[in-house]
């Protein structure tokens, strides 16, 4: 999506609720961080990320292999929408979370750079979930 010179980009002029479907989808930078399993500390409510990705994530591309039916195929999948009440479950760099909280896109976002080359993604460290994984053994500190 490109913008005309001197015209502010759509994410600066519209609320999340006003976005078209293509605009909404273009906000995803393809980092794959939202597809990592998370744990919530019962005592502190702190959200802890793991390096264990949903089994539907294609790690090299950081894209869901069953995107259109992800919430049916994986009942715990986050289904984002404009009034989503759990933005804190998304990474702090997530465009949806940033815009919902009144922020702007990071400098490396594909909508600003024209490509996804600079996106900090999970492709170099994520592993796919399976039955024998103990999530508590896979907490990663740097995403928290």
Comparing 5 with 47, the larger pLDDT belongs to 47
Span between the terminal Cα atoms of the chain, in Å: 31
Token pair for residue 13? Answer: 């002029």
- Compute the mean pLDDT over every residue in the chain, rounded to the nearest whole number: 91
Contact 55, 65 (CB under 8 A): no
The pLDDT assigned to 3 comes to 58
Whether the predicted pLDDT of 23 surpasses 80: yes
Comparing 143 with 107, the larger pLDDT belongs to 107
The pLDDT assigned to 6 comes to 83
The pLDDT assigned to 144 comes to 45
Whether the predicted pLDDT of 93 surpasses 70: yes
Token pair for residue 101? Answer: 């909280």
The pLDDT assigned to 79 comes to 84
């Amino acid at each position: 999506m490109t913008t005309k010179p001197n015209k502010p980009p759509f994410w600066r002029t519209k609320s999340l609720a006003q976005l078209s479907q293509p605009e909404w989808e273009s906000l995803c930078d393809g980092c794959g961080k939202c597809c990592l399993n998370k744990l919530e500390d019962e005592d502190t409510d702190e959200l802890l990320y793991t390096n264990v990705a949903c089994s539907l994530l294609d790690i090299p591309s950081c894209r869901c292999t069953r995107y259109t039916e992800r919430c049916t195929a994986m009942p715990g999948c986050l289904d984002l929408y404009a009034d989503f009440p759990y933005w804190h479950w998304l990474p702090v760099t997530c465009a949806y979370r940033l815009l919902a909280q009144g922020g702007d896109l990071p400098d490396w976002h594909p909508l600003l750079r024209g490509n996804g080359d600079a996106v900090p993604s999970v492709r170099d460290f994520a592993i796919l979930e399976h039955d024998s994984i103990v999530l508590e053994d896979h907490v990663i500190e740097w995403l928290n």
